Chains A and B, each alone.
Chain A
Amino acid sequence: QKEVEQDPGPLSVPEGAIVSLNCTYSNSAFQYFMWYRQYSRKGPELLMYTYSSGNKEDGRFTAQVDKSSKYISLFIRDSQPSDSATYLCAMSTNTGNQFYFGTGTSLTVIP
């Protein structure tokens, strides 16, 4: 079993829709949770960063962490065509510089 599971999609939504992206994980030692956005032919860029359980909001983006269920989500409100990208979740523990990635979800927002 992989440490981090993520549905690869592809996911296609109309402009303005609410998008929900999810990851599950098996290692209860994960404390830090990240979402990266990767445009085609570009490097992943850090979108959201959260510690432990709870919610974090930044503009149209909300990250949620439910450690009891080992489940994290990224919500995108009022999705735009410019949100079309691959979204990768990543996690780390508090014991060193080791990051564990999901396989990424490909999102297309249709104008």
Chain B
Amino acid sequence: DTAVSQTPKYLVTQMGNDKSIKCEQNLGHDTMYWYKQDSKKFLKIMFSYNNKELIINETVPNRFSPKSPDKAHLNLHINSLELGDSAVYFCASSRQGWSEKLFFGSGTQLSVL
């Protein structure tokens, strides 16, 4: 069983389109995250949700909107896609607390043409 799963794995789309990426975790974790990884492999936090409540919202264009219907799911919706949005997006989860470990999904490769 995959602990943190995200879909789709690959997403190719045109500029200006709206797309969503879905994430689910079956670890019973309280906190979920979205990270963006650029071509140089740098992982940048975008959002963090704890029990469906937004707790971290880094400087991200408001075209990006996370939604957490329950604590096991965190989706990412992106409006008006731009070329610069092309990257790999990772969902992750952890238990609530300051000593906890972070577990990642396998990533969504987004290519905006």
Contacts and interface: CB of A to CB of B under 8 A. Distances in A.
A88 B41 contact: yes
Contacts, number: 66
Interface centre among B33, B50, B102 (most CB of A within 10 A): B102
A51 B104 contact: no
A38 interface: yes
B45 interface: yes
B79 interface: no
Contacts of A31: 98-99
B37 to A, nearest CB: 9
A37 B39 CA distance: 17
Contact of A44 (B48, B98, B99, B104): B104
A106 B39 CA distance: 13
B66 interface: no
A96 B40 contact: no
B42 A97 contact: no
Nearest to A97: B31
Size band of the interface chain A makes with B = 20 to 34
Interface in B52-107: 55-56, 90, 94, 96-107
10 contacts: A32-B98, A43-B106, A49-B101, A88-B41, A94-B98, A97-B33, A97-B96, A97-B98, A98-B56, A101-B42
Given A42-B106, A98-B56, 16 more contacts: A32-B98, A32-B99, A36-B104, A41-B107, A42-B107, A43-B4, A44-B104, A86-B41, A94-B98, A96-B98, A97-B55, A97-B97, A97-B100, A101-B43, A104-B40, A104-B41
Interface of B: 4, 31, 33, 40-43, 45, 48, 50, 55-56, 90, 94, 96-107, 109
